[in-house]
Amino acid sequence: MRTWTDHQIEDELSRHFSARLGLQVGRAAAYFERSLAANKPARNRAAFLWTVGAGLVTATAAAIALAATLIPPPAARPHGPAVTPSASPEVASVEPSEVVWWRSLDEGTVLLDDHTPARRVRRQILEQVQWYDPRRGTQVELTVPREEVLFVNMESY
């Protein structure tokens, strides 16, 4: 029989675990840094897609709103023979839109779907469009509110 003290047993256990697991220490930090570096393009891409997507949605909404005002509402069709439209309708001359007011609201840091941090900026814009409607003989002025939400990637590496 060999006598073992508590101290010896504890030494043996410490030596055992150090021998088994010692080589594993340090892997996690290196792996974490590698995975951060590997995900960096993905983060940039995600923020870019968010920005482009939000811009497209607002631009489409603005275009639809503009088109709805430019296209005259269908006139009540009278019963009887169809009315032939004018052979040479004058084309409405639309002037380029002009930003008359805008502001950017910093809404702070948010986490995107992939848990990467990004700064959310809400941009509110008032655009004014003017054109001459030859059918009515009037100058029309339209102010279109537009809102964009931008996700700015927080570049840190």
The residue ranges that bind another protein (CB under 8 A) are 1-4, 6, 9-10, 12-29, 31-33, 35-36, 108-109, 111, 114-117, 154, 156-157
CB nearer to another protein: give 81 or 108. 108
State the minimum distance, in angstroms, from the CB of residue 56 to another protein: 26
- What distance in Å separates the CA atoms of residue 50 and residue 53, rounded to the nearest whole number? 5
CB nearer to another protein: give 23 or 76. 23
State the minimum distance, in angstroms, from the CB of residue 122 to another protein: 17
CB nearer to another protein: give 20 or 77. 20
- What distance in Å separates the CA atoms of residue 73 and residue 76, rounded to the nearest whole number? 9
* Structure token pair of residue 147: 């809102």
Which amino acid appears at position 52 of this protein? Answer: V
State the minimum distance, in angstroms, from the CB of residue 105 to another protein: 17
Q: Show the beta-strand stretches assigned E in 40-137.
A: 93-94, 98-111, 117-133
User: Within 13 Å and on the Cβ side, how many CA atoms surround 89?
Assistant: 9
